Amino acid sequence: MPKKIYVGMSGGVDSSVTAALLKEQGYDVTGVYMKNWSQDLPGFTCPWKEDYQDAKRVAVQLGIDFKMYDFETEYRQRVVDYMVAGYQAGITPNPDIMCNQEVKFKLFLQAALEDGADLIATGHYARISSLESLVSSSPLKTRDSRLATNVGLFTGLDSNKDQSYFLYRVTEPALAKSLMPLGELKKPQVRQLAKKFGLATAEKKDSQGICFVGKVGIKDFLLAELGPGLPGAIVDPAGVTIGEHDGALFYTIGQRHGLDVGGGLPYYVVGKDMAKNEVYVTTDLQDSRLWSKALRLTSLHWINQPPLAGQSYQVRTRYRAPLIGCRVNEVAAASDRLDVSLDDDVRAITPGQSAVIYDGQRVVGGGIVI
């Protein structure tokens, strides 16, 4: 009897092709649309109904079962409230990472298994593979002999679409129950497959913006959630107030646009004080507050084993940022702090964002920047 796979279908081309490929490979496939958010915002209509219908159309085309899981309440509590609270505290959280941790690879996985699935699958551009199969012929085996022969998370073959950064908080047991077929493909191949299968979503554009509200920008969303911010001073390196911001929570380290400080060279955000409600800026791209050769992380998560102190790794400090060589201090078992030394200066390291550590193509894990 073929394995029963529940595919998370968002109504986009990637998850549609994922379902089609698994059906073609002989699996017993069921498509599942996760209803995480349905709230309209001023000037923006939530596209969930359209996405649901697109996913359903593809399921009908493929001749697979289709259902919807409603996670809206849990999503609000675990992802949206987390994000809003982070911004209110003055940091810049990443809701996509929390969505993967709490919804796709926890709530969805649990519900699917309880419903009779053997595995779940998603349209992520990342690879899940046996550590034994990918480590046996590489330097990784000798570099870290602690690695068991279980599954690990690896970068997708398409470096332009690799989404492993967003998946570093998924657990090893969850990965062992998951499939990511697109990790072996490049985006143009996925588009070609969608046309080959004749899928209704073949020409659908990729979604942009916040993971759950599509085209809505983060500032628009926060304004709808929290109302207007409290105006305060924009302060230059000399301590001079040069403008007024519309709420310190709306600004992030390294930000250039949206300051409305006219004339001369552009200004960049280098810090903020939430208690004083002040935003600090500079025109100097070499300002020491914009650059760092060290990271401190909290809320640590390691997929297989913690990194080894003193060994060379690579770290990515935000999605699409280049990998930078790094070394970590000793990872104490009882500690939830980690100091990371970087080989090069990195610009605009932002509290609340995630830093993800890699050992070659393998995702070791990471934490939240403090």
Domain boundaries along the sequence of the chain: 4-197, 228-282, 291-369
Dist CA 27 CA 21 (whole Å): 9
pTM to 2 decimals? 0.93
Domain over 4-197 is classified CATH 1.20.1090.10: no
Buried b (16+ CB within 10 A) or exposed e, 61-87: bbebebeebebbeebbebbbebbbebb
| Count of all residues that appear for the chain in the document | 370
Question: Which are the catalytic amino acids?
Answer: 99, 211
- pLDDT tens for each residue of the chain, 370 residues long: 889 999 999 999 999 999 999 999 999 999 999 999 999 888 788 889 999 999 999 999 999 999 999 999 999 999 999 999 999 999 999 999 999 999 999 999 999 999 999 999 999 999 999 987 555 544 444 456 666 558 999 999 999 999 999 999 999 999 999 999 999 999 999 999 999 999 999 999 987 656 665 667 888 899 999 999 999 999 999 999 999 999 999 999 999 988 988 778 999 999 999 999 999 999 999 999 999 999 999 999 999 999 999 999 999 999 999 999 999 998 776 789 999 999 999 999 999 999 999 999 999 999 999 9
Question: Domain 291-369 falls in which CATH fold?
Answer: Elongation Factor Tu (Ef-tu); domain 3 (2.40.30)
Q: Which two tokens stand for residue 167?
A: 């998946």
CATH architecture entry for 228-282: Roll (2.30)
Quick check: helix, strand or coil at residue 250? helix
Residue bearing tokens 């209509």: 45
